[in-house]
Amino acid sequence: MKIHSLDAYPVFDSRGNPTIECEATLADGTRGLGVVPSGASTGQYEALELRDNDPRRFRGRSVFQAIENIQTRLAPAVVGMDVEDQRAVDLRMIQVDGTPNKSALGANAILAVSMAVAAAAANHRRQPLHQSLGEGRGTLLPLPEIQIIGGGAHANWRTDIQDFLLIATGAQSFAEVMEITFNVYHACGDLLKQRRRYYGLADEGGYWPEFDSNEEALTLLVEAINRAGYTPGVEASIALDIAASDLFDPSTGRYRLELDQCELNSHEFVDRMIDWCERYPVISIEDPAADTDVAGWQRFQAALGHRVQVVGDDLFTTNPARIREGIAHRLANAVLIKLNQIGTVTETLDAIRLTQAAGWLPVISARSGETEDAFISHLAVATNAGQLKVGSFARSERMVKWNEVIRIERQLGNRARFIGKGIYAPLANGKTGSS
Ligand code: PGA
Ligand code: ZN
């Protein structure tokens, strides 16, 4: 079935910033929508998000040029192509852009079209997106990483560390994950309010705290798990996103922890991350070193990679070439997957497959600026990725993703699988270990 036309227009993300929605219409009238999220702590190796940078309009954040690029450059190239050949459509757009980081037309323009085409193909096949994207092979429900406390670029740097998250390691079903998370999230909120440490909600719906040190967040999260009636490290474990590139000064090679009033070199910083993982029930850590601090990554992975999930976000930026390098140099054992870091559905699927083929773990992720779209819930199931990170347990741009997994579970019926913390088995087997 041929692509008949593309319509593109500005809509708004969860921070109220302009973003792009694209509607693809097929020759038989079938339609599909794509809408693009946006990060705040973006990695330097990400594909380019094209903004107009005109201070008179939306503080420079408008996307009119990217939308025009869809209308004048991308639509003429993909109209008439077969909607079922996603790879051909995406490769054509990469070709038309002609730059390595999609900076000519904008990764936001290209991704809006790519997602709209994927959605239209699913609608044409009368299949849910997870079935269409995964060619019917996706049956694994993801284990969620859910933010309880937000910091860094998402909470005006109230903590240096960006995400304090929960993984319901004791859950036997997706429904049980939701219940454990609900209980811990609210227990944490109660504690913060009692101690007058509650400031509000951060960008992804986790609590925006007032703490005197980064470790205070870890201590409080452990208390919240206990208060909710669970054993830390058994039924409920901690995941961290350090987003260390934001704390690193490449000119001095040093990391700054503002709240802890200290500056550390690579060894010292990574050793502090290792220390936290040893003293608290941390099962997963993301970006424990800056994207240019290769020695820092290797130090962390060598120390704890056999038992802690070590996730590269800014390090890999969902870029298959960078992931391949990381695998060769044993920098981590897991990859955060964000569609708009690379800019097409096809390259995202390639990044996931590459990760899985190495015995590493993909974590499908939202951005801090999100939309009411649930594409990534389908992507997680379609690829049997096994993990999904979309922010907290509040705000509809987050809850729509968790709710969609509940719907997918019902669609899959008795084909749905949930292995919970079994997803981490490759770490314990040493398959992705450091030696
Ligand atoms: P971002 O944050 O979307 O602001 O980049 C999410 C993350 O770092 O994982
Ligand atoms: Zn991250």
CATH number, domain of 78, equals 3.30.390.10
Mean per-residue pLDDT for 48-69? 98
Give the integer Cα–Cα distance in Å for 287 and 285.
7
In this structure, the residues whose C-beta lies within 6 A of any atom of ligand 1 are 39-42, 153, 162, 241, 243, 313, 365, 367-368
Task: Report CA(149)–ligand 2 centroid distance (Å).
Answer: 14
**Whether the Cβ atoms of residue 32 and residue 121 lie closer than 8 Å to each other:** yes
Instruction: Please report the pLDDT score of residue 296 as a whole number.
Output: 98
Residues 93 and 160 in one domain: no
Characterize 226-262 residue by residue with b for buried, 16 or more Cβ atoms within 10 angstroms of its Cβ, and e for exposed.
ebbebebbebbbbbbbbbbbbbbeeeeebbbbebbee
Residues comprising the chain, all counted: 435
Residues 68 and 149 in one domain: no
Q: Does the pLDDT at position 431 exceed 80?
A: no
If pLDDT is split at 50, 70 and 90, which confidence band does 432 have?
low
Give the angle 203-185-392 at the CA atoms, nearest 5°: 30
Instruction: Please report the pLDDT score of residue 433 as a whole number.
Output: 43
Condensed to tens digits (0 to 9), the pLDDT of residues 122-154 reads: 999 999 999 999 999 999 999 999 999 999 999
Instruction: Please report the pLDDT score of residue 427 as a whole number.
Output: 85
Q: Which atom of ligand 1 is nearest to the CA of 368?
A: 3
Residues 167 and 69 in one domain: no
What pTM value is reported for the model? 0.97
Note whether residue 357 is domain-resident: yes
**Whether the Cβ atoms of residue 343 and residue 102 lie closer than 8 Å to each other:** yes
* CATH code at position 311: 3.20.20.120
Q: Does the pLDDT at position 219 exceed 90?
A: yes
Q: What percent of the chain has pLDDT over 70?
A: 98
End residue of a domain, out of 126, 155, 179:
126
Note whether residue 137 is domain-resident: no
Note whether residue 34 is domain-resident: yes
Q: Which atom of ligand 1 is nearest to the CA of 42?
A: 5
Residues 220 and 305 in one domain: yes
Note whether residue 394 is domain-resident: yes
Q: Kind and range of the H or E element at 364?
A: strand 361-365
Note whether residue 433 is domain-resident: no
Active site residue 338: yes
End residue of a domain, out of 96, 126, 156:
126
Q: Which atom of ligand 1 is nearest to the CA of 336?
A: 9
* DSSP code per residue over 78-113: HTTSBTT-HHHHHHHHHHHH-STTSTTT-HHHHHHH
Note whether residue 434 is domain-resident: no
Condensed to tens digits (0 to 9), the pLDDT of residues 362-399 reads: 999 999 999 999 999 999 999 999 999 999 999 999 99
Condensed to tens digits (0 to 9), the pLDDT of residues 104-115 reads: 999 999 999 999
Note whether residue 283 is domain-resident: yes
Q: Estimate to the nearest angstrom the gap between the alpha carbon of 23 and the chain centroid.
A: 24
Residues 37 and 167 in one domain: no
Residues 112 and 147 in one domain: no
Per the structure, how many domains does the chain have? 2
Task: Report CA(263)–ligand 1 centroid distance (Å).
Answer: 23
Note whether residue 134 is domain-resident: no
Per the prediction, the chain carries an average pLDDT of: 97
Instruction: Please report the pLDDT score of residue 428 as a whole number.
Output: 73
Task: Report CA(259)–ligand 2 centroid distance (Å).
Answer: 19
**Whether the Cβ atoms of residue 154 and residue 143 lie closer than 8 Å to each other:** no
Mean per-residue pLDDT for 314-331? 98
End residue of a domain, out of 77, 96, 126:
126
If pLDDT is split at 50, 70 and 90, which confidence band does 429 have?
low
The residue segments making up the domain with residue 371 are 143-428
Give the angle 158-163-164 at the CA atoms, nearest 5°: 100
Residues 202 and 117 in one domain: no
